């Protein structure tokens, strides 16, 4: 059993959108959404570099990163800290590229970022600290989005 639990894998696979934080050369943070975030195996996440020159440049200089994946409706998710390996060719690159193509990603992929997860922690809304149940939080946000769509 790796570091990524069944629930962590489920959330990542269902949500697909990960917010990737890297460190810029001047030490400032860089946060970039990656809609290709997924589980590779029990210890690794991956995302594709479709248009991420800043993220790739930052990872080349400093391979540490954090990825946050959150279910926006129930306001729960996970933060994953780890080290990135940038793949641009070779058998593993081709294997992961084929996975994305089978999944329907047709955009040009420049690199694959393979992340060895070293630490994984839950992200949970403070609403749960106040006693809300997951069903209550879900209903609250579904109602919000339903109201928001009616306004448009």
pLDDT band at residue 151 under the 50/70/90 scheme: low
> Structure pTM?
0.93
In a domain, 91, yes or no: yes
In a domain, 52, yes or no: yes
**For the chain, what is the domain count?**
1
In a domain, 1, yes or no: no
In a domain, 14, yes or no: yes
CA distance 58 to 49: 13
Structure tokens at 49: 């570099």
Q: Is the pLDDT of residue 152 over 90?
A: no
CA-closest candidate to residue 46, choices 121, 115, 144:
115
CA distance 111 to 52: 9
In a domain, 80, yes or no: yes
pLDDT value, residue 15: 97
Q: Is the pLDDT of residue 120 over 80?
A: yes
CA distance 109 to 49: 6
In a domain, 148, yes or no: no
Residues composing the chain: 152
In a domain, 32, yes or no: yes
Q: What angle is formed at CA 5 by the lines to CA 55 and CA 76, rounded to 5 degrees?
A: 70
Contact 37, 45 (CB under 8 A): yes
Domain residue limits at 110: 6-125
By CB atoms closer than 10 A (0-12, 13-18, 19+), residue 59 is: buried
pLDDT value, residue 60: 97
CATH value at residue 100: 2.30.110.10
pLDDT value, residue 147: 87
In a domain, 151, yes or no: no
Q: Is the pLDDT of residue 138 over 70?
A: yes
| Average pLDDT, integer, range 107-123 | 97
pLDDT band at residue 145 under the 50/70/90 scheme: confident
pLDDT value, residue 150: 76
């Amino acid at each position: 059993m790796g570091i990524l639990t069944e629930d962590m894998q489920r959330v990542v696979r269902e949500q697909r959108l990960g917010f990737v934080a890297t460190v810029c050369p001047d030490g400032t943070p860089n946060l970039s959404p990656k809609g290709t975030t997924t589980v590779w195996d029990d210890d690794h996440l991956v995302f594709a570099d479709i248009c991420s020159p800043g993220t790739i440049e930052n990872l080349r200089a400093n391979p540490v990163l954090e990825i946050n994946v959150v279910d926006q409706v129930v306001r729960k998710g996970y933060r994953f800290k780890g080290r990135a390996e940038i793949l641009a060719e070779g058998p593993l690159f081709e294997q992961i590229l084929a996975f994305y193509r089978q999944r329907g990603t047709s955009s040009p992929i420049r690199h694959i970022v393979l992340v060895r997860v070293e630490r994984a922690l839950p992200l949970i809304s403070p609403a749960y600290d106040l006693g809300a149940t997951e069903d209550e939080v879900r209903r609250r946000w579904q109602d919000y989005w339903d109201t928001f769509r009616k306004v448009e």
